[in-house]
Structure 1
Amino acid sequence: MSAFVNYVADDGRASPLNLAVVRVLLGMYVIWRVLSLEWAAYGEWPDFHVDETIGFLHQDLFFALLPYQQWVVAALLVLFVVGYRTRWTGGLASLLLMHMLSVKATIYLAGTVESLFVCSYLILMFALFAEDDRLSVDALRRTGDRSLEELNAVLTDERNRVYRMRALKWGLLAVAIIYVGSAWGKALNGPLEIWLSGAELQRDILFNREIAGVERPMGMPLVENELLAWVGFVGTAVVQVSLFVAAVLGLSVTLPILGIIGFHVSVILTLGLYFIDMILVLSLFAAWDLAYRRLAADADDEATVVYDDRCHACARVLVPFAHLDGTDSVRFVPRSDAPAELADRDAALTLSDDGEISEGYEAFRRLIGKFRLLAPITWLMGVSPLRTVGTRAYDRVVPDRRRYRSDAPEPDSS
């Protein structure tokens, strides 16, 4: 019941929701970041700041391409957000963005660049393990290749399901290693005794105040008190290393992540808006599925959905709801196994909830309404003319039994 999930210790969850939430949040955030940066201006920076270790990327052609690449990356990420051909859209977006960030890094490796590198890596992990994502357009498309028997098994299987989260597993491990590297880098960038004394932290605060021209009262106690500066250094190193230790030992990562977030907040208060993006990156490993269980549906209010188990389109439409039902508040029953009062109906879809029975489009609308977070969609589906359009679309996708099986015999009830 931790607030954050140690995917390194166990990448299996009872719900696929976390992958979907992270994919949407990550994609939308990177879209905003990519479109908000002034890529065209980087080619005008003076050359004397070029990092020679990656100097081969400091090419006029690469800088000229940056403004165009940002729109290509943004377009690919829009498709990534909805989960359409994630292996290609996510893979290409991550590689293109890494190239753009590398070109920018030849002149200035800012905290935003480093944070976006982490985001690019996470997107690449989603591309490599795209088949784990069950709440995406790709997952819905894949149901078209599955047999009717397989789809019925997904809907009627009441055993505990386990969904793998390999993208988040390797993403968390990478983030943990990066923070270990950050702690180790402090020791490599100067004499250890200076860092241990807290003198380097004090100089950073004073230097930042001088060049920014902004007084930061929260940083002055660290400047004036060597003991506090030493505690700040040691505490930072311990917190940064603790995430990796907890991850690989299978311990809870909640306290390490909260500690690192606290570290980033303290940096903002004492130095300015550095590495603020990493707060979002760390929040991606929150237990979104546990919060969803509390908000999405009422497990005590169970609804029964009777569907035509001979209709491939019917089963395809319902499979995402089976994955989304984290509280087991919806029971899917094949018509061949349903009680007579629900089975003897012409509609391919029937919903019984608290004694009230609805059919067809209305049943589908009420099924969506069972998930509280989707309440706005339910309301829109009930508004004319959306109800009229939706009813016609539903009838085309999920025809009633008379039209769908008019030439087929009814199943033998015996």
Structure 2
Amino acid sequence: MKFVNYVRNPIRDSPINTAFARVFLAFYFFWKTVWYDWRQLYDIPLVLYEGYAVLIPPSPTIMVAEKYLLLITLTAFAVGYRLRLSSLVSAVIVGHMGVVRYVYNTSGGTTALFIGMYMLVFFGLYRHRDRLSVDAIRSAGSGSPASLVDRLTGSVSDSFRADALRWSLLVVGIIYFGSGFAKVVNGPVAWVAPENLSRTLLLFDSFMPGSNPLAEPLLGYPVLVTLAAIGTLVLELGLLITLLAGVGVTTVVLGLYGFHVGIWLSLDIVFFDSIMFLGLFFSWDRVYAALASDRELTLVFDEHCLFCARSLLPFKLLDVNERITFHTQSTVPERYRELDDVDFENAMYVFDEDDRPYAGYHAFRELLRQSKLFAPLVFLTGLSPVSRVGTRVYRYIADNRSQHFACAFNQQNELES
């Protein structure tokens, strides 16, 4: 289990971590938004911060409309479509929702919205670094056709910068450091004194008896209470220090997870948002590589079709173990040309290690089968109704690609000549 210090080095050998974090962040805001009842919030008679009350719309209907607009923009953000716009609009709405909620509720679940808002901004600012997005696939067609074919048939030797994760991690480090620094400024000796934390443990255990299994045992051991307080300071201050020092952060992050579990068991306070944010910086690309198949595949595609080449680019980037060999129709090995019932002009083909051919829709399904991560999707696409529809959709696209789907390699070559 390893977490990445992106502040030290934001460069990875695949774009998977950035893509995963984008989808993960969108899911987080979905979870924070979809169930929230803004009409019920307006029934609360107490306003904690009058200064922010001016930002509250006069009707909860406006907040409900914002909620559904956010769900739409988050969907676009999750797939990486129009990231500059979708990330900015999502960040503005999240920020406004956070302010409105803060007027009534100052809990950590509310303030966490502002941390996530910064992350949305960073993904928008560094959208050009996100190579596994719809925007990246669309922009791949803006270069020369030959360069796109070369990217598919060559080796993936690029390095991928995760700048959005770099600055997001720095924000998380600053937040933790601020919490620890406030404890130091207010008196570190008093904070680590056993009676300080013991008083808090006793208070929570009195109000919620039975929900804090660690509270009573800790109260009997002042030394453990003191060590817990010292550990809190070390972990909260330590994340930012290790980030800036350029050393590994795995130990500190795992310590913070343990710290949050300890708070849950002793005070019954769950910092779910912090746990989610820390998970963004796990080395998910290593997990994906472990789930990737070692099966060798050979793929043959139409080099004259821009739509075909662009649609295959994500599979090239996801082939982290380089087990897929890409060939154009003009460079396909002879042994595949001699196979019966293979028509390269009619469909894209994937050949497995036994030279078994899979055409069109089924070829894409074999590409998905290269990673256990896509096992649910492979199962779904194998169901008879889905397979029949998918085969017809592929056939329609293949038959009409030169008319509707920007198969413009030949046209561009003619213009260049």
Please state how far the C-alpha of 1:77 moved relative to its aligned partner: 1.3
2-structure distance, mates of 1:385, 1:213: 54
TM-score by length of 1: 0.88
1:308 aligns with 2:302: yes
Compute the RMSD of aligned alpha carbons. Answer: 2.8
Shift of 1:195: 0.9
1:22 paired with 2:21, answer yes
Q: Name the structure 2 match of 1:13.
A: 12
Match for residue 194 of structure 1? 190
SS of the residue corresponding to residue 305 of structure 1 reads strand
Q: Give 1:387's aligned amino acid.
A: S
Q: 2:267 aligns with which of 257, 260, 271?
A: 271
In 2, the alpha carbon distance for the partners of 1:161 and 1:146 equals 17
In 1: Cα distance, 2:218 partner to 2:383 partner: 60
- Report how far residue 286 of structure 1 moved: 0.7
Indicate the SS of the match to 2:299.
strand
Q: Does 1:290 align with 2:286?
A: yes
| Structure 1 position 278, deviation (Å) | 0.9
Q: 1:339 aligns with which of 330, 333, 341?
A: 333
Return the alpha-carbon distance in structure 2 between the equivalents of residues 63 and 223 of structure 1: 48
Which residue number in structure 2 is paired with residue 363 of structure 1?
A: 363
Higher alpha-carbon deviation: 284-293 or 29-38: 29-38
For 1:114 and 1:385, locate their aligned partners in 2 and report how far apart those are by CA, in whole Å. Answer: 46
Q: Distance in 1 between matches of 2:401 and 2:72?
A: 41
Match of 1:146 in 2: 143
Aligned to 2:49: 51
Question: Match of 2:135, SS?
Answer: helix
1:231 to 219, 227, 234: 227
Q: TM-score, normalised by structure 2?
A: 0.87
1:157-236 equivalences under 5 Å are 157-188=154-185, 190-236=186-232
The SS at the match of 2:7 is coil
Residue equivalent to 1:39: 38
* Deviation of 1:318 (Å): 1.0
How many aligned residue pairs are there? 400
Deviations 1:25-84 (A, max 9, x none): 22112111122333333333344x6236xx144555267343332222222212222222
* Structure 1 unaligned residues grouped into runs of 5+: 409-414
Q: Which residue of 249, 252, 256 maps to 1:253?
A: 249
3-state SS in 1 of match to 2:325: strand
- The residue number in structure 1 matching 2:414 is none
Task: Tell whether the 8 Å contact from 1:198 to 1:232 is kept in structure 2 after alignment.
Answer: no
Residue matched to 1:84: 81
Q: Secondary structure at the match of 1:217?
A: coil
What CA deviation, in whole Å up to 9, does each residue of 1:127-165 have, x standing for no partner?
221222222222222233333112112102215221111
CA–CA distance in structure 2, aligned partners of residues 351 and 310 of structure 1: 18
The yes-or-no answer on 1:116 pairing with 2:113 is yes
Question: Is residue 72 of structure 1 aligned with residue 69 of structure 2?
Answer: yes
Deviation track 1:1-34 (CA, whole Å, cap 9, x = no partner) reads x611111111111111112222222211211112
Partner SS for 2:327: strand
Q: Name the CA shift for 1:215/1:354 in 2 (closer, same or farther; >3 Å).
A: closer
Q: Deviations over 1:314-340 (max 9, x none)?
A: 211211100111111111122333322
Contact kept, 8 Å, 1:45 with 1:107, in 2: the verdict is: yes
Shift of 1:287: 0.7
Q: Deviations over 1:337-388 (max 9, x none)?
A: 3322335763252322213231531333323322332234334434434333
